[in-house]
Chain A
């Protein structure tokens, strides 16, 4: 452990003393957030881009769930969703593909049975072509599902539906309640350009922080200092752990500084779920450093590494809407396969105060991505820190 501590301390010192660290990892993201957030504010003006009620195609495959499905048509929901019934899933999906509707929902068989038995009940959700519309629909429907599941749990616990409703209302009103049973983010809140680009830039620069970890490995390799470290009584796994933890800490500190700075000086609202916020940052940092280790293992030279990694960052940022929010069509779909998409959407959902289920879903995908990349980096790590 002492050796790892020495290597972490060494890595931190090297990074902090490198001139580019300050400019690249701290000053530049804050500057870009400010410039993009202000320059493109018009694009995000709420009045200009007010989201009309989204046409949602609904297929109910469970007759007993008609009452639950009816909740999509309440007056409150009508502000956001315009529900259109379909007889079967295929027709609804055809309409979604042809852009006749913006979002699709299928209430599966036995949904009511599952919900009333207290099991977690899910609807099948089909996103459409418009990222904003998807966000609103997911937020509204996800929150509704949370509410259904919670009420059913209360009914089972208390035995009486009216008592359960009362308990739910009390829980909602109670200060410090752990469960939000209010309608999901229906308050008309929207994200500003500053928030959008803060999320996107934070993700992009956290990936850059990962790149710094890879560059540090390659610089050690090219300067032959890695060979020197290997000549000491140090195991390769210690070297990898030192790099990973040292650069990961720098990246994590960078994330916190940007969040605190943008909150304090730009008045940016990152939401109130701080643990989730930290978890998102942690998952991105793990993913970014893991990705850097993987690329460093495969790239023989610093220049190759930089080219490959920067191309990856730029492509992922572009596809996830980091430069322009609406790419449309195929590119939007492609963006959903990127780390940047899930990372930035996680931040945005936290900023919007989206339903727990949605945040959880994003965190799960992000966490699994981080775990997968970490596993691969652990397998390739020995090659990355090899001095040969």
Chain B
């Protein structure tokens, strides 16, 4: 069942088209990774889903309600973790949660319970009466998340929540995302770190120039580039005959020779590795090193756009 539906959504900033006829459905209970380079239209899309921006064309629905017609009701179902750490220097961690909890209509004992839960979930219980000024970058990021989940939203939108933090805090946040999902929340997770998106997403959408250029599970998406698996073989005494024979192998799509280094693009590299080694041995070529490069979302993005994801 679709929790978020976008139909032919368009957003322009002046003459620049930021989101270009985007159609997308995000199912309830999934972790949806929205991937794309900076300026691709990820944040604009998210802001439109949250009701922070109006679309110029098209329709957006959250939990069956059109965002434009029922913005307050839609907003009450969403928790937004903004890209920037949006906290107040003058407020303690607990006061942040009390303030945002009240804005979402929580009061009394329910509010107190939710504050305790959110602090515990983000590992900040021991710092509840401290102000963000004394927090590390990771702790600030966690408080940033706590503010968005205090009202137990159905949909949590995380816009690059791991920018600029240490690996430990990053792992903590990724684990928190999985846990929130296990507890029933649908998550939209944007990042230009494809490793993160690969690690946690059940489905991924890749966006570029405001258009959705790929959509599916990680497995589905990677089948599009499985032919781009690559064996990189450093050799001594490489001969033209050896290169020619490898190129003739049925699984090999392309061979590239750089002095003594051989890049072999092939399907199912592991299955045919033995064959490659046999051919090289037959031509008395010695192998100095060998590695297998499997395609990933970065490869897919490169294939689809001709650019790197982090350009």
Report A's interface with B, CB cutoff 8 A: 2-3, 6-7, 10, 13-14, 17-18, 223-225, 227-235, 387-388
Segment of B70-78, B162-170, B204-212 engaged in the interface with chain A: B70-78
The B57-115 residues at the A interface (CB cut-off 8 A) are 71-73, 75-76, 78, 80, 82, 84, 86-88, 90-91, 95, 99-100, 102-105
Is residue B53 contacting chain A, with contact meaning CB distance below 8 A? yes
Chain A residues with Cβ below 8 Å from B86 are 223-225, 227-228
Given contacts A6-B99, A10-B99, contact A231 B90 (CB under 8 A): no
Chain B residues with Cβ below 8 Å from A7 are 103
Chain A contact residues: helix, strand, loop or mixed: helix
Least CB separation from A18: chain B residue: B90
Is residue B50 contacting chain A, with contact meaning CB distance below 8 A? yes
B90 engages A6 (CB within 8 Å)? no
B147 engages A228 (CB within 8 Å)? yes
B73 engages A231 (CB within 8 Å)? no
Query: Closest CB-CB distance, B233 to chain A, in whole Å?
Result: 50
Given contacts A13-B91, A18-B90, contact A229 B103 (CB under 8 A): yes
Determine the distance from Cα of A229 to Cα of B95 in the docked complex, in whole angstroms: 15
Is residue B52 contacting chain A, with contact meaning CB distance below 8 A? yes
Determine the distance from Cα of A322 to Cα of B50 in the docked complex, in whole angstroms: 49
Determine the distance from Cα of A2 to Cα of B111 in the docked complex, in whole angstroms: 14
Determine the distance from Cα of A388 to Cα of B50 in the docked complex, in whole angstroms: 13
Least CB separation from B95: chain A residue: A13
- Please name the 7 residue pairs, one residue from A and one from B, whose CB atoms are nearest each other, closest first: A232-B103, A224-B86, A17-B90, A233-B72, A231-B80, A6-B102, A233-B75
A227 engages B90 (CB within 8 Å)? no
Least CB separation from B90: chain A residue: A17
Query: Closest CB-CB distance, B111 to chain A, in whole Å?
Result: 11
Query: Closest CB-CB distance, B131 to chain A, in whole Å?
Result: 9
Taking each of A3, A223, A225, which has the highest tally of chain B beta carbons within 10 Å of its own beta carbon?
A225
Report B's interface with A, CB cutoff 8 A: 50-53, 71-73, 75-76, 78, 80, 82, 84, 86-88, 90-91, 95, 99-100, 102-105, 147
B88 engages A14 (CB within 8 Å)? yes
Determine the distance from Cα of A355 to Cα of B95 in the docked complex, in whole angstroms: 51
The listed residue (A227, A232, A388) touching B100 by CB distance below 8 A is: A232
Chain A residues with Cβ below 8 Å from B103 are 3, 6-7, 229, 232-234
Query: Closest CB-CB distance, B136 to chain A, in whole Å?
Result: 18
A227 engages B82 (CB within 8 Å)? yes
Determine the distance from Cα of A224 to Cα of B140 in the docked complex, in whole angstroms: 14
The listed residue (A2, A224, A232) touching B75 by CB distance below 8 A is: A232
B99 engages A231 (CB within 8 Å)? no
Chain A residues with Cβ below 8 Å from B91 are 13-14
Chain A residues with Cβ below 8 Å from B105 are 2, 233
Query: Closest CB-CB distance, A153 to chain B, in whole Å?
Result: 55
Chain A residues with Cβ below 8 Å from B95 are 13
Determine the distance from Cα of A10 to Cα of B99 in the docked complex, in whole angstroms: 7
Determine the distance from Cα of A232 to Cα of B100 in the docked complex, in whole angstroms: 8
Determine the distance from Cα of A229 to Cα of B72 in the docked complex, in whole angstroms: 12
Determine the distance from Cα of A10 to Cα of B102 in the docked complex, in whole angstroms: 11
A228 engages B82 (CB within 8 Å)? yes
Query: Closest CB-CB distance, B175 to chain A, in whole Å?
Result: 24
Chain A residues with Cβ below 8 Å from B87 are 223, 225
B52 engages A14 (CB within 8 Å)? no
Chain A residues with Cβ below 8 Å from B90 are 13-14, 17-18
Query: Closest CB-CB distance, B52 to chain A, in whole Å?
Result: 6
Least CB separation from A231: chain B residue: B80
Least CB separation from A238: chain B residue: B103
Chain B residues with Cβ below 8 Å from A13 are 90-91, 95
